[in-house]
Amino acid sequence: MTARKPWQHKRQSPSARGYDAEHRRIRAQLLKEQPLCEECQRKGRVTVATIADHIVPLSRGGKTERSNYQALCRGCSDRKTLADAGKRYKRRIGLDGWPEE
């Protein structure tokens, strides 16, 4: 078998990564109960939640149970994913000179 280059790897399917019917059920329930991003709310902002995020990622032993989920917007989810991987989020500066969210 020949070694693949990084960009040739296929990402596993959602069900293979642990996002099964139970995850979809919890996600629907969470976003119905908590339609706003929890992280944005803690910072005094109002943003629609679109992601059912695992507080403790599945890759680190997190469980697919309601207590391990939080509702996040895409931006907060991306920042948390980078932080979970030990990386920093670089804030972008808009044309007006202020940081973009």
Question: In which residue are the tokens 């890759």 written?
Answer: 59
What is the SS3 assignment for 90?
Answer: coil
Which pLDDT tens digit goes with each residue over 31-86?
A: 999 999 999 999 999 999 999 999 998 888 889 999 999 999 999 999 998 888 88
**Structural domain spans, the chain:** 20-84
pLDDT band at residue 2 under the 50/70/90 scheme: low
Distance, in Å, from the CA atom of 77 to the CA atom of 9, rounded to the nearest integer, reads: 23
Full-model pTM: 0.72
DSSP string covering 3-68: PPPGGGPPPPPTTTTT--HHHHHHHHHHHHH--B-HHHHHTT---B--EEEESS-GGGT--SSGGG
Q: How far apart are the first and last CA of the chain?
A: 45
